Structure 1
Amino acid sequence: MSTTGDPMGPSGLDLIMDGTSEPDHTPGRRRAERPPRPPWGRRIIALAVVVVLVIAVVVVGGKVKDRFFSSAEDYTGQGTGQVVVTIPPGADGQKIATILYDAGVVKSADAFYQLALKDARFQSIQAGSFNLRKEMSAEWAMRELTDRGNRAEGKVTIPEGSRVGQIVAAIAKNTDITEEELTAALDKPETLGLPAVAQLNPEGYLYPATYEVEPGTTATELLRRMVKKTVDVAKSLDISTRAKALGLTGEEVLTVASILEFEGKLDQDYPKIARVLYNRIADGMPLQLDSTVSYVSGREGDVWTTPEERANPSLYNTYQNPGLPPGPIGSPGEKTIEAALNPAEGSWLYFLATDLETGETTFSNTYAEHVKACKAAFGADTQC
C-alpha cells in the first residue's frame, strides 16, 4: 500500500465526514464529488445582498420598535400658559393625541397615545372644550382632560328680573349661540316645553340662574333647559296648591313675583309689596305700577314713566286697567316667587322707595300718609 496520498483522493477530514475509514474502490460506484464552488465575484455579490438585507431588517425593525415600543418624546411637568382644546364627539385615542399635539399641549402625539392605550382614565374623557396648558407631559394632559373642573363650557348668568331680550343678549355674549339662532328658536315657542298657562309666551318662564353651555348646544336645547328649571322650581315650591289658597293661578303668582323684581330692592320688602298689590286688587284699586308700563315701552333699568306712556291703552298699563297685567314682565327668582306666595300681613295700600340708593321703602295705609312720606323724602314741592 502506498503511503503517498493521492492528490485527487479524499482527505482525512473528508473521510470522517463521509463516515468511512478507507477509500471505496467497489466496482461500479463512484466517489461522491463536491459541487464546484462559485467564482469569487458571485460570492461577493451574494454576501453584499445578505448585508443589505440585514441592514434593512435592522432599520425597519428599529422604526417599528421606535413607533410601538420605545418611549416617545414627552414633556415633563404641568406645562405653562393656557390653551383651549376642543375634543369632538366620537374622537378616539389617535385623534385626541393629534389634537393635543397640534395645539402644543404634548411634545408628540405618540406620548399621549401610548399612555391612552394602557390607562383606564382615557375612557372617561368626554367631548367638549378644556382649559389646558402648553408643553404638558402626557400624564398631566390625561389628568386635566379627566378633571371636569377644566371643562371650558360657556357660562351664562341670567339675573333675576331679566326679560327675554336681555336673556337673548346675555346668552349670545357668553356662548357660541347667536342672537339669530335664539330668535329663531323663540319664534317656535311650541318647541320650548312651555306650560299651557304660558300660552306660548316665554316671558317669565326662562328661569334666572347660571347655566353651563357645552359646545354644540343649540338655542332650543338651552331655552328648554331654562323653561324646565322654571317648571321644576314651581313644583318644588308647590305653586299650584299655594296659589289657589290666595285665590290666584300659578301664572298670576309668577306675574306678581316678576313685578316685585322691579318694584322692590330689599328682600324684606318683597312680601310687603306683594301685600300692597293684593290689598289694592281686593279693594278694586288700579295697581298704578310704573314697572308694567315701562315694560310695554321696552325701557330697561330705572323704573319710571312719562304721562304719554301712562296714557297707553295696553293691557300692561296698570294705571288704565285694574288688576294684574296679562303675564309676567320678566323672569322672577325664587325669593320673589316665595314672597308672592307668602305675603306679609298688613293693610298697606301704598309703597314708595324713599331712598333710591339703599332701596329703603315706606309703606302707607292712606293716600295722605303716602303724600306726607313722599314730600318728606323728596321735598315739599314734589308732585306726589
Structure 2
Amino acid sequence: MAPARGRASGAAPAAGHGAYARGGRSGRGLRTALVLGLVALAVVVGAAWLTRGLFAPADRPEASGEDVTFTVRPGEDLGSIAARLDERGIVASDRAVLAAAEEAGETSVGAGDYVLRERMPAADALAVLQGRADGAAHYVLVGRGQWLDEALDALAESTGIPRAEFDAAAADPTAYGVPAEAPSLEGWLDPGEHYPPVDAGAEDILAELVKPRLAFLEQHGVTDPAEQQRVVTVASILEAEALPKDYPRVAGVIENRLADVDAETRGLLQVDSTVNYGLGRRNLQFTSAQRADESNPYNTYQHRGLPPGPIGMPSDAAVEGALDPVPSEDLYWVTVDIATGRTEFSQTYEQHREYQEQFRRYCAQNPEICS
C-alpha cells in the first residue's frame, strides 16, 4: 500500500479525482494563509502599539497635588525649563513637555513666576507657562541704580512685549502720577522683583512699577510734587555714588554743596556719575574736555544745583538717606576703593586732593574696574 501511495503522489492522477484533490488542498491552503496573515497583522499591530508605549514620552493623565510656584529665568530655553519641570516631578518627563510644545506649535516661554500643580500633564503645564491658561505671571526685576533705558530693555526681554511699546508707554511720565517736573520716568520705577500678569500691557506694567515709589514717598510725608522730584534726584545720586551705610552722610555733603553758592564749591556738585549719565556711558572716569562740556545738562562741574532729573532708579534706602542727611562741615567725598566701597570725606579741597590721588593710584592698579 505504501508504494502505491508513493506512486500516486508521484504520477499524474486521473482527471476527475485529481482535479477535486487539488481543489481541496488549495482551499485549505488559502484558509491557512488567511489565518496566518491575520495573526501576523495582529503581531505587527501589537508590536507597533508596544513600541509606541515603550518609546512615547511618559506623561500624567491629570493634574493633582497642591499649588506650587515655578520660576522661569530670563533667557532660559525650553529644554532647560522642561528638564527642571521633570526634576521637580511636576511633569512625568521632559520629553513630554517638548512633545507638547511641538504639538502646540509654540516653544517660547517668558520669564516669570508661574503657579502650577505638584503633578501635571505636560500640555497643561506648558499652557500655563505660555500664558494660555490661568496661573501665569511675568518675572520682572528692576535693579538698584539701573537707568530707565536699561530697565525698559529688561522689561521687554522679561515680558516679550516689544521695546517700542514700552517706549511709547513711557513717553508721558505724568500719566503715572509722577511730578510734572520729571523729564522722564527715570528714577520712578521701584527697584526689586515684580510679578505682573502675563496679559498686562506695557502701560499696566509701568503703572505697577511706579506705584510703590509714590507710595513710599507719601508714607514719609513727601507729597509736594516738586519736593518728590528733588528727593528722588538726590537719592539717585546717592545710589550711584555711595554704599548704603554712607547714604545719609553723602546726602549731607550734597546739601552743603548746594548751599555753598558763594564759597569754595560755588554750588557745584561736581559729581562724576551725573556727567557720565549725561554722556550715556557707565565709566568711572572721563576726559577733561568732557568735564568742560557745558552742552551736557547733567554736567554738574559746569551747571550749579541738581541735574535736570534723577540719574537712575534709587532704592528705598537711598530715598531715606536723601530725606535724612547727616549734618557736617564736609564739602567733598570720594570713593577710594571701588571693591570695598571705602569712601573718604573732607572739608577742604587740599585734603580732598590727597584722597583723589589715592583713587588715581587705585585705578592705575585696577584699570579693568575704572575703565
TM-score (norm 1): 0.58
Which of the two has higher C-alpha Rg? 1
Deviations 1:310-336 (A, max 9, x none): 222232111011111121111211101
User: Distance between the aligned counterparts of 1:288 and 1:294, measured in 2?
Assistant: 12
**Cα drift, residue 237 of structure 1:** 1.7
Contact map agreement 2:337 2:362 (CA 8 A) in 1: no
**Structure 1 residue 291: Cα displacement:** 0.8
SS of corresponding position for 1:171: helix
Q: 1:259: Cα distance to partner?
A: 0.5
Mapped contact 2:335–2:359 kept (Cα < 8 A): no
Which amino acid in 1 is paired with 2:240? Answer: F
SS at match of 2:195: strand
Q: Which of 247, 267, 282 is matched with 2:244 structurally?
A: 267
Change (3 A) 1:166 1:75: closer
Does the alignment pair 1:278 with 2:260? no
User: Within the alignment, does 1:213 sit opposite 2:191 as a pair?
Assistant: no
Which whole-Å deviations, capped at 9, do the CAs of 1:33-70 have from their partners, x for residues lacking one?
xxxxxxxxxxxxxxxxxxxxxxxxxxxxxxxxxxxxxx
Partner of residue 255 from structure 1, selected from 212, 233, 238: 233
Report runs of 4+ in structure 1 exceeding 6 Å deviation: 76-81
Q: Percent identity?
A: 34
Q: Is the 8 A contact 2:275 2:300 kept in 1?
A: yes
Name the amino acid aligned to 2:151: I
Secondary structure (helix, strand or coil) at the match of 2:211 reads helix
Question: Is the contact made by 2:250 and 2:333 (CA closer than 8 Å) also made in structure 1?
Answer: yes
Q: What SS does structure 1 have at the residue aligned with 2:343?
A: strand
Q: Distance in 2 between matches of 1:344 and 1:191?
A: 35
Native 8 Å contact 2:232 2:314 kept in 1: yes
Alpha-carbon distance in structure 1 between the residues aligned to 2:65 and 2:291: 63
1:237 and 2:215 are equivalent in the alignment = no
CA contact (8 A) 2:291 2:299 kept: yes
Give 1:197 deviation, angstroms.
3.8
| 1:377 Cα deviation from its structure 2 partner | 5.4
1:168 aligned to which of 152, 155, 173: 152
Q: Residues 333 and 352 of structure 2 are in contact (CA less than 8 Å); yes or no, is this contact kept in structure 1?
A: yes
How far does residue 347 in structure 1 lie from its aligned partner after superposition?
0.8
Matching residue of 2:332: 350
SS at match of 1:210: strand
2:140 to 132, 141, 156: 156
1:239/1:341 contact within 8 Å kept: no
**Aligned with 1:312 (options 261, 275, 293):** 293
Q: Where do 5+ consecutive residues of structure 1 fail to align?
A: 1-72, 84-99, 105-127
Does the 8 Å CA contact 2:148/2:185 hold for their aligned counterparts? Answer: yes
Q: Does the residue aligned with 1:249 lie in a helix, a strand or coil?
A: helix
Q: 1:375 to 1:103 in 2, by over 3 A?
A: closer
Shift of 1:273: 0.9
Contact 2:137 2:196 (8 Å CA) reproduced: yes
Question: 1:255 and 1:78 mapped to 2: Cα distance?
Answer: 49
Indicate the residue corresponding to 1:178 in structure 2. Answer: 162
CA–CA separation in structure 1 for the residues paired with 2:199 and 2:311? 30
Deviations 1:256-308 (A, max 9, x none): 100011111x22111111111111111112111111111111113x4322222
2:64–2:117 contact (8 Å) kept in structure 1: no
**Does the 8 Å CA contact 1:203/1:329 hold for their aligned counterparts?**
yes
For residues 356-381 of structure 1, the C-alpha deviation after alignment (integer angstroms, 9 at most, x for no partner) is 21010010111111122333554599
Task: Quote the Cα distance in structure 2 between the aligned partners of 1:283 and 1:171.
Answer: 41
